[in-house]
Amino acid sequence: MQQLTEIRWHARAGQGAVTAAKLVAETALAADQYMQAMPEYGPERMGAPIKAFTRISPEPIDIHCNIENPNVVILLDDTLLDVVDVAEGLVADGTIIINTCTPPDAIKRALGLADSITVACVDASGIALDTIKRDIPNTPMVGALAKVTGAVEIDSVKSLLAKTFGKKFGQDIIDANLASVDRAYEEVTTA
């Protein structure tokens, strides 16, 4: 794994991007990594576009500035493709992971992205509706992140989910979330 992985999350307020960024941070800690997770604070309205950031590193992280050149960009909502510049500042060999039904090569063409950039697509909302019975795409997207980048380990994600959700929810909800992570891990496609 590389020295420092920087992730930028795009979502609409209420979709659980901050929870997902936190889950990734805790997964990193479980693997004895260092991490930062910070939402970008502004006026908070349900449905408004928001950003969140995660840093993961095997070494202590000194920097506290915004992430300008992420290695990974994650979109929890594909309607944001028309609203935000998802590829802004992305490193040349970066990865974009999108919750969408559109195939990755079509997205790559539509955004005019360089060949060196990896686009990964997964119908996280569809998976969430199937498994959790609600459109909460954040946990399946962490499953896709594990598959595409290896920044976090799938087993570690699942055991932490079981642990943190175990305090609040019943076994059926935990199982549904675990299933959503597994399915996103299996179903994500890249171009």
Regarding 28 and contact with other proteins (CB under 8 A), the answer is yes
Q: Which of 13, 31, 38, 129 binds other proteins (CB under 8 A)?
A: 38
Pairing of strands 118-122, 189-190: antiparallel
Q: Which is nearer to other proteins, 55 or 108 (CB)?
A: 55
Say whether residue 8 binds other proteins (CB under 8 A).
Answer: no
Q: Calculate the alpha carbon distances from 80 to 9, 73, 97, 116, 169 in Å.
A: 11, 12, 13, 23, 31
| Contact by Cβ (8 Å): 53, 174 | no
- Distance, CA of 36 to chain centre: 14
Closest to 14 measured CA to CA, from 37, 47, 61: 47
Name which of 134, 138, 122 is nearest 15 in CA terms: 138
59 binds other proteins (CB under 8 A): no
Find, among 134, 128, 106, the residue nearest to 187 by Cα.
128
Tell me how far, at minimum, the Cβ of 8 lies from other proteins, in Å: 14
Nearest to 122 by CA among 149, 141, 142, 146: 141
Among 11, 17, 20, 35, binds other proteins (CB under 8 A): 35
Binding of residue 92 to other proteins (CB under 8 A): no
Query: Which lies closer to other proteins via its Cβ, residue 91 or residue 110?
Result: 91
Examine residue 162 and tell whether it contacts other proteins (CB under 8 A).
no
CB nearer to other proteins: pick between 33 and 100: 33
Judged by CB under 8 A, which stretch of 55-63, 78-86, 98-106, 147-155 contacts other proteins?
A: 55-63
Per CB under 8 A, which of residues 96..135 are in contact with other proteins?
A: none
Q: In terms of residues, how long is the chain?
A: 191
Nearest distance, CB of residue 44 and other proteins, angstroms: 11
Residues of this chain that bind other proteins (CB under 8 A): 21-22, 25-26, 28-29, 34-39, 41, 60-66, 68
